[in-house]
A = this chain, B = another copy of it.
Amino acid sequence: MADASHPAERAVVLLSGGLDSYTAAALVRAEGHALFALTVRYGQVHAQEMAAARRVAAALGVERHQELSVDLAALGGSALTGDGAVPKDRELDGDGIPPTYVPARNTVLLSLALAWAEVLGAGALVIGVNAVDYSGYPDCRPEYIAAFERLAALATKAGVEGGRFRIHAPLLAMTKADIIRRGQAVGLDYGITLSCYDPAPAGAPCRRCDSCRLRARGFADAGLVDPLDLR
């Protein structure tokens, strides 16, 4: 943790309200970073994600929680922003990229995080992507994260003046079960999170979309009970 003589390095964390970004943020906080949470409404069909993000930001005790809107739904091209139905009961671990892929989403999110990081003087960006138990999205892979880090150095005043932006993706090589075990071990309450792509209006998860099913499999593999199942 930071002490008064060495102020904590600031980190901008992309916080979605799901369990991955919550866990990634907690791990980076444990390394001594001061957290600045950024939640982007990009036209997801469900607004409950924002309520979950606010709960998570409060639980993490972030320095600040900034919300931004950008209407990717206007561009179309994803079931996650209302263009077609969210698939249910789909085979997990298939080869294809599913219709819930949002074109260039993580590039948009990281570019906004980079903009805020530069303003804040933050040297770290945190994203909860993982490339093991994931949905096959291209912008969750290690080579993508490395390419964004190279871009960030050239994209910014801070970068060309010799500063550096590091992208922290601490979950990249973890399975969903690893993530859940690790988070519960440090006391995270996953009961405040929302992973579902298609929740009921009151926020209850559908339990049939890829995200719900990956989450259920993760808890099962970890030998733990999802607190959402106790409600």
Contact = CB atoms under 8 A, between A and B. Distances in A.
A118 B104 contact: yes
B154 A138 contact: yes
A151 B147 CA distance: 5
A66 B70 CA distance: 13
How many identical chains are in the complex? 2
A168 to B, nearest CB: 17
Nearest to A104: B115
Contact of A138 (B70, B116, B157): B157
B70 A68 contact: yes
A168 B111 CA distance: 20
Interface stretch (A3-11, A19-27, A72-80, A180-188): A72-80
Interface in A74-88: 74-77
A139 B156 contact: yes
Contacts of A138: 154-157, 159-160
Interface string A147-169: 11011101111011100000000
A112 to B, nearest CB: 6
A93 B95 CA distance: 52
Contacts of A75: 66, 68, 112, 115-116, 119
A71 interface: yes
Interface residues of A, number: 44
Q: Is the interface of A mostly helix, strand, loop or mixed?
A: helix
Given A77-B119, A119-B75, A104 B155 contact: yes
Contacts of A110: 111
24 contacts: A68-B75, A70-B112, A72-B115, A75-B116, A77-B115, A97-B157, A102-B115, A103-B115, A103-B116, A103-B119, A103-B156, A104-B114, A104-B118, A105-B115, A107-B114, A108-B108, A138-B157, A138-B159, A139-B154, A143-B154, A144-B155, A147-B151, A148-B151, A150-B150
Q: Considering the complex of A and B, which 9 residue pairs feature the smallest CB-CB distances, nearest first? A: A77-B119, A103-B118, A104-B115, A70-B70, A107-B111, A138-B160, A144-B154, A104-B114, A111-B111
